[in-house]
Amino acid sequence: MVSNHPNCILISIAYFFSLEILMYYLPAALIGILLLETVNYIEHYGLRRKRSETGIYEKVQVVHSWNSNHPIGRILLFELTRHSDHHYIANRPFQLLRHFDQSPQMPAGYPAMLILSLCPPLWFKVMDKKVEELQRA
């Protein structure tokens, strides 16, 4: 049985497929990890759940993650843009995820937000203003 340890995966790819395939796998895996973490960052930036006096956080609601309800993004990203509903009801199938008006809305679609996140000063200028607006509401 192969372990889930990353080294075992890399060794297995090299052994069963070749070092050349491993050299294709590594940058593809790095790009995948960077995209995953960047999307996670932009979906949750600046949003916090309240913590009770006992230290327990409030239940996850639709206001605890950013959405982007652009039709093309919805189709291309398999409803990733309706991220808030996924957090609210984690076992809802992706094709049934709903839009909520009370969910924070990204100022642009996912591709634009990914690019914006690559320039931190611009990201903070745009998103900190949106976070402040949400905190005042």
Q: Enumerate the domain spans of the chain.
A: 1-33, 45-136
The DSSP symbol for 92 reads: S
pLDDT at 9 over 70: yes
In the predicted model, what is the mean pLDDT of residues 17-36?
95
Question: Is the per-residue pLDDT at 28 higher than 60?
Answer: yes
pTM for this model (two decimals): 0.77
Residue 1 vs residues 5, 8, 68, 70: alpha-carbon distances, Å:
12, 11, 42, 44
- 8 A C-beta contact, residue 122 and residue 43: no
At 41, is the pLDDT very low, low, confident or very high (cuts 50, 70, 90)? very high
Query: What does the CA dihedral 81, 85, 89, 90 come to, rounded to 10 degrees?
Result: 20
Contacts of 71 (CB under 8 A, 6+ apart): none
pLDDT at position 132 is 95
Contact call for residues 63 and 103 (beta carbons, < 8 A): yes
Mean pLDDT for the chain?
88
Residues 6+ apart with CB under 8 A from 16: none
Least reliable range by pLDDT among 17-26, 37-46, 68-77, 107-116: 68-77
pLDDT band at 69 (very low <50, low <70, confident <90, very high): confident
The pLDDT assigned to 4 comes to 66
